[in-house]
């Protein structure tokens, strides 16, 4: 039982740290194309790890399997990359420029 509690705690802490790193990336990166990377990864990995820890907790410490967390995680893994891709396409369509020192610009 202790191993289960430690693994749940690790998932929650790792998820929170990844979400924090993604938030810092959103605030510090210079243009929209680089800013998309931090929140997209943070939402899929950070919130996914947090939800998986919550899924483990409610599955093993309550009466039944917690399907809410599993459905939220599946929905998140499908929608977060698609929304980041659509934001990038909208930025390209509007002609937003990237920072001059950004390397590997495939769209130019």
Instruction: Show me where the domains of the chain are located.
Output: 2-94
* pLDDT tens readout for residues 9-32: 999 999 999 999 888 888 888 888
Q: What angle do CA 107, 81, 9 make, to 5 degrees?
A: 135
Better-predicted residue by pLDDT, 6 or 70? 6
* pLDDT tens readout for residues 75-106: 988 888 888 889 889 988 998 887 776 665 55
Q: Phi-psi category of 44—alpha, beta or left, where left has phi over 0 and alpha has psi -120 to 50?
A: alpha
């Amino acid at each position: 039982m202790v191993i289960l509690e430690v693994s749940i705690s690790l998932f929650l802490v790792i998820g929170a740290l990844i979400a924090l790193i993604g938030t810092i990336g959103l605030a510090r990166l210079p243009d929209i194309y680089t800013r998309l990377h931090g929140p997209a990864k943070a939402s899929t990995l950070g919130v996914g790890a947090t939800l998986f820890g919550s899924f483990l907790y409610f599955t093993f410490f309550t009466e039944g399997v917690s399907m809410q967390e599993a459905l939220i995680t599946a929905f998140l893994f499908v929608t977060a990359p698609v929304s980041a891709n659509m934001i990038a396409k909208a930025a390209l369509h509007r002609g937003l420029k990237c920072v001059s020192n950004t390397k590997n610009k495939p769209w130019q």
